[in-house]
Amino acid sequence: MEHLLIRAQTIIALYGLNLVAALLIFLIGRWTAKLVRRVLDHVMIRRNVDPTLRGFINHLVYMGLLAFVIIAAFGKLGIQTASFVAVLGAAGLAVGLALQGSLANFAAGVLLIIFKPYKVGDFIEGGGASGTVEEVQLFSTQLKTVDNKTIIIPNSKISSDNIVNYSAKPTRRVDMVFGVGYNDDIEQVRTIISGILAQEKRILPEPAPQIAVSELADSSVNFVVRPWVKSADHWPVYFDVTEAVKKKFDEEGISIPFPQRDVHLFEHKE
């Protein structure tokens, strides 16, 4: 009996020390992982990292460190961790292959958040759609169209295509084309358009608006009109100037010709 008691005390002393050591490794390791997460979060806040990306990176780093601590604690208890690590690696590979589309969206989302080709509130065109950016997530970008529809585009699709950001610059050029008849006075047309642009307060004085004959078309002489405005005023100015030009042309007797074609008939005598 005494021999069994001594043997039990020996086993408890041996494994008890290992158990205490494993518990200390886990507690200290978890505390260290939390400390690293706080320091990393503070650094990313100072670098103005996007909150979505910041939260994901913090969680990923913390879980990785915690997994390392748990494996170290198991190793201290005498549990073979090599096979455990191999199983985790194989499972991670299988999950990665199964979710490669999602991982591509995630990688694209990280790049979009870091390099910021657009931000919330910008009007963009990309991924086969256009609209105002409502939300930039890690896996997708949400747009609101001009007719109040919601479009969710996978980040891998939008990042692999051309991205046109209409809100990136403070000013935009309004491109308009007005056609007049061949019998109309070109200088009179230029004067009319210049007067309309001068009265439009939303048009910027610099760069100066461009008014030029661009094409002698089949049915009309085409003028290009290119004033500069603030980006938010682009479409309002486009619509208002177009309407004003039509009304002024009507008042001044300037014709806006329809497409015309001359048809010549030849009579064949038999």
Is the bond leading into 227 cis (omega within 30 degrees of zero)?
Answer: no
Question: What are 1-53's pLDDT values in tens digits?
Answer: 556 556 655 655 556 667 777 788 788 888 888 888 888 888 777 777 667 66
User: SS3 string of 97-154?
Assistant: HHCHHHHHHHHHHHHHHHHCCCCCCCEEEECCEEEEEEEECCCEEEEECCCCCEEEEE
Question: What are 197-214's pLDDT values in tens digits?
Answer: 999 999 999 999 999 999
Question: What are 100-154's pLDDT values in tens digits?
Answer: 556 777 778 878 877 888 888 899 998 888 999 998 887 889 999 989 999 999 8
What does the pLDDT read at residue 164?
93
Contacts with 185 (C-beta within 8 Å, 6 or more apart), sequence order? none
pLDDT band at 165 (very low <50, low <70, confident <90, very high): very high
227 or 34, which is more confident? 227
Alpha-carbon distance of 226 to 120, in angstroms, equals 29
Q: Is the confidence at residue 91, as pLDDT, over 70?
A: no
Domains and CATH numbers, the chain: 2-98 (1.10.287.1260), 116-165 (2.30.30.60), 171-252 (3.30.70.100)
Give the angle 248-252-254 at the CA atoms, nearest 5°.
Answer: 90
Assess contact for 139 and 155: CB atoms under 8 A. yes
Q: Is the confidence at residue 266, as pLDDT, over 80?
A: no
Query: Rounded to two decimals, what is the model's pTM?
Result: 0.62
Q: For the chain, what percent of residues have pLDDT higher than 90?
A: 39
Contacts with 200 (C-beta within 8 Å, 6 or more apart), sequence order? 227, 237, 240, 241, 244
